[in-house]
Structure 1
Amino acid sequence: MRPVRNRIGVNILTEPIFLEPVFHQKIWGGRKLETDFGYTIPDGKIGELWAISAHPNGPNVIENGPLAGLTLDQAWADHQEYFGHQQGKVFPLLTKILDANDSLSVQVHPDDAYAKAHERPGELGKTECWYVIEADPGSYLIYGHHAKTREELAQMIHDGDWDDLLRKVPVKTGDFVYVPSGTIHALNKGIMVLETQQSSDTTYRLYDYDRVGADGKKRELHLQQSIDTTTVPSQDPKLDIQTEKRGDSTVTTFVTAPLSPFFSVYRIQLKGSLDFDREAPYTLVSVLAGNGTFEADGKSYPIKKGIHFIIPNQIEHWAFTGDMDIITSTPGKAEE
């Protein structure tokens, strides 16, 4: 199918962009992406589903419409009209589902400036956030630290003084956690999250429980990078979560500018039908529970738990109908 053109020859796209999932094996992964979400996943410990990604380490292939067969990074490069002619060489966001069957390494991510100076060309920094899909009773995160100075941080890391350094924060199903770059953090065993993040795959490990990889060796640590990039003293972002009742449905704003310059994230607890108008260049959508339809330009598309898609720039109005739990995100306006 060729793109439709309007009277002045501009390509228009009035259907959602559905994407083939990409799975990543992780030492801490499990099988919940299969048992809980119904994905057909590879054998082994599958820790991550990259649901909406243009990152070179796992770009999604577009399933439908005039862009079918292209990867999302190719679509971003060649069809900017569908994304509102945004500035930037790379698609700026990445949506994942993480299944922490075991605890992740304690880690920190760089900001854009550090990533630009020290990582591969085009790599962004990594601010991220989590919506907790499921958390076992008693679950907790590593979030932040107790060091007062960078010198104290370095000493505690080199001494392995993890009990005194790391903060443990309880977490439960339905929680939202914002993780700016520079924040020491880790998901722990028994937690599944939907992660919205900058399009980056740069992680600096400062502690990994002395685990060994498939080669029988302890996994690489990045102590100096961790010390360089960690925010000291630790800072907790001041979230202002807003909830709005719309009929029998609820729309929650988790985070937006100015606190979050890279993305805004929302939850739609849908019962019935809700209409929306475009307020951003494009919108990322993940269905976490239930089923229903997405309706735009006089057409209806069935959607259900485990479906992820992009609403392109040229869809001005749309509706969700059904009984669903949906997370949406939109790009921020920060310059790279």
Structure 2
Amino acid sequence: MEQPLFLAPVFQEKIWGGDKLHTVFGYDLPHDKIGECWAISAHPHGTCHVENGPFKGQKLDELWDNHRELFGNAKGDVFPLLTKILDAEDDLSVQVHPDDAYGLKHEGELGKTECWYVIEADDGAEIIYGHHAKTREELLDLIETGQWDNLLRRIKVKKGDFFHVPSGTIHAIGAGIMILETQQSSDTTYRVYDYDRKGDDGQPRELHIQQSVEVTTVPHVDPELHIIQHNQGTSSVTEYVRTPFFNVFEWAVDGTLTLTQGGLYTLVSVIEGHGQLIIEDPETVNSTETYDISKGTHFILPNQIKKWRLTGKMQLIASEPGIDA
């Protein structure tokens, strides 16, 4: 019987990070300023390894290269998705990401479209999401003259909010917010503004004004969201977004939730509660494997697993590759 791939997260120290990945999720952290948990990643800057089964100890990029059948023989040189949990104790830099064409040409890697599910948010916490410039010339002028209040669009957020952040969107996560981020597997970030913070070397952190102006979508347009919820008894599936890169869902389990493979494979993160993942063997009657899962568990359901059940009381965020991934 095919097994899920449980993954060990990789932690990234950040100037704006805190300790909530320990206090909220219970992870043992290597430093006290951890901003990112790369929960499901095959990116070379932080590659997860498998914790169970016949592939135990292997890295996700190795599985992509050598066992593509696990991923439905998907095309592509790199595993296309990356799941993170971000803890913003302080404001992140104001930034923007390129699309695939620009990223591959200038950085040698994919562009970065992403989306955010807000796990926690302090009262009054806000994000920067978009800008007010009408032309690229106005965008450059507002950046160069530091008119941030006139340029940046601020939105207050709360637990449970969801945002789609296409490449070309100026954005920043504000202090006091923890999110789960589903994104293309890219680590290319162009900083527009960083509050004049200094890095470990005592110098202001690098900005990327030319690249930012070149890749930013002008004028900003909010992507339309068509959020759909399907109830299954007292449990539910909420479809947040479908893009060429990824489809993202929330699975709210209160009792039992039965699901089937909708894409080539599925990435799953438990963000609240605990319960069981039950895999049925399609070739053997009444043959199942049960796995205990809880808050902070991350796994991939490979292509060969076509149906599963979740039991207990928990909240999970799941994603699958889109048509262009």
TM-score by length of structure 1 reads 0.94
Which residue identity does 1:250 align to in structure 2? S
The equivalent residue for 2:30 is 42
Q: How does 1:161-310 map to 2 (within 5 A)?
A: 161-256=147-242, 260-296=243-279, 297=281, 298-310=288-300
Q: Distance in 2 between matches of 1:211 and 1:277?
A: 47
Q: Distance in 2 between matches of 1:274 and 1:162?
A: 46
Q: Distance in 2 between matches of 1:196 and 1:316?
A: 22
Which residue identity does 2:107 align to in structure 1? E
Cα deviation, 1:202-229, whole Å, max 9, x if unaligned, reads 0000100000011101100000000000
The structural deviation recorded for 1:69 is 1.2
Number of residue-to-residue matches in the alignment: 318
Which residue identity does 1:201 align to in structure 2? D
Q: Distance in 2 between matches of 1:195 and 1:303?
A: 20
The equivalent residue for 2:11 is 23
Paired residue secondary structure (2:44):
coil
The structural deviation recorded for 1:44 is 2.5
TM-score by length of structure 2 reads 0.97
Aligned: 1:83 with 2:66: no
User: Which moved further from structure 2: 48-57 or 275-284?
Assistant: 275-284
Q: Distance in 1 between matches of 2:312 and 2:32?
A: 35
The structural deviation recorded for 1:64 is 1.0
- Conserved 8 A contact 2:277-2:293: yes
Which residue identity does 1:293 align to in structure 2? Q
The structural deviation recorded for 1:65 is 1.1
Q: Distance in 1 between matches of 2:319 and 2:211?
A: 29
Q: Distance in 1 between matches of 2:266 and 2:63?
A: 15
Once the two structures are aligned, what percentage of the paired residues are identical?
60
Q: Distance in 1 between matches of 2:62 and 2:92?
A: 31
Paired residue secondary structure (2:308):
strand
Aligned: 1:67 with 2:67: no
The counterpart of 2:83, out of the listed 95, 101, 107, is: 95
Q: Distance in 2 between matches of 1:195 and 1:278?
A: 21
RMSD: 0.8
Cα deviation, 1:247-269, whole Å, max 9, x if unaligned, reads 0112111001xxx1100000011
> Structure 1 regions of 5+ residues with no counterpart?
1-12
The equivalent residue for 2:303 is 313
The structural deviation recorded for 1:66 is 1.4
Q: Distance in 1 between matches of 2:321 and 2:236?
A: 22
Paired residue secondary structure (2:50):
coil
